[in-house]
Amino acid sequence: MKDVSFGQYYPVDSFVHKLDPRLKILFLIAFIVAIFVASNFYGLAACAFVLLLAIVFSRVPVRKIFRAVRGVLFLIVFTAALNILFHSGEETYWAGPAVYWEWGIFSVTQEGIMFSLFLITRLVLLIVCSSMLTYTTTPVSLTDGIESLLTPLKWVRFPVHVLALVMSIALRFIPILMDETERIKNAQKARGADFDSGNPFKRIRAIVPILIPLLLSAFRRADELGDAMDARCYSSGNRKRIKYKKLRFSWRDLIGFLLGAALIAGVVLLRIYLGAPL
């Protein structure tokens, strides 16, 4: 649970932290599109270079950023293993044997290994760039940015402010629930609970003493938050609400926009002129 970094904010004065949250959200969307548009390692290398620049200018420690990768390491390894064992090697772009090992329906091929490496790189870039957004943007700024980007939906009476508020509260509750889970787990261990031994079914049953107090705690916190909002006369339907901080674009946002546009154009060109997979 300590490896979950999504939803955590790292306070520091940096170039990336000062960017407009609307631009950072749009840049994240453009980066994800570029990752999936890339059809070879050259395109992923361009995405990794841009992400490395963002990490350097954000001044967030690398160990904190890549902590999110450890949280989904099992999923990455499992996905890579499936692709290595089941991906066919009918087409190859390198000299040498295409099939290294084969047994029944399982086979290890050159194409399978390269495709697994390509998929792992894509997943790592996707996780790291998503973590960068929450590390460099406060939940309040994210709420304001999402609400501003969804402003056109207000014309069709869509509850944009409510949606942005729900997403902000969800992001804020992620690290809180992680800490609560760790406290409950330590308390259960002090009472003699064992979470690390036994077969998988026994470990699943051992999680029940954690889930029930966690759900009760989550509902209690949600009820307290609702009472606090009512006590402060909060009303989402008030159309005369004003912002304490108004979002404005600056020269930093222009640089970020140009960098995102260059990334998309570069990946598309690499896909066109080097369109061979991997």
According to the model, what pLDDT value does residue 93 have? 47
Pick from 52, 44, 46, 71: which is nearest to 127 by CA? 71
Which residue(s) pair with 99 in the sheet?
Answer: 109
pLDDT tens per residue across span 236-275: 665 566 666 777 788 888 888 888 888 888 888 877 777 6
pLDDT tens per residue across span 75-112: 778 877 777 776 665 554 444 446 666 666 666 677 77
Instruction: List the chain domain ranges.
Output: 1-137+243-278, 173-235
Q: Is the pLDDT of residue 192 over 80?
A: no
Helices 139-149 and 21-37 cross at an angle (nearest 10°) of 80
The identity of residue 152, as a single letter, is P
According to the model, what pLDDT value does residue 95 have? 45
Task: Compute the average pLDDT of residues 183-195.
Answer: 80
Which residue(s) pair with 107 in the sheet?
Answer: 102
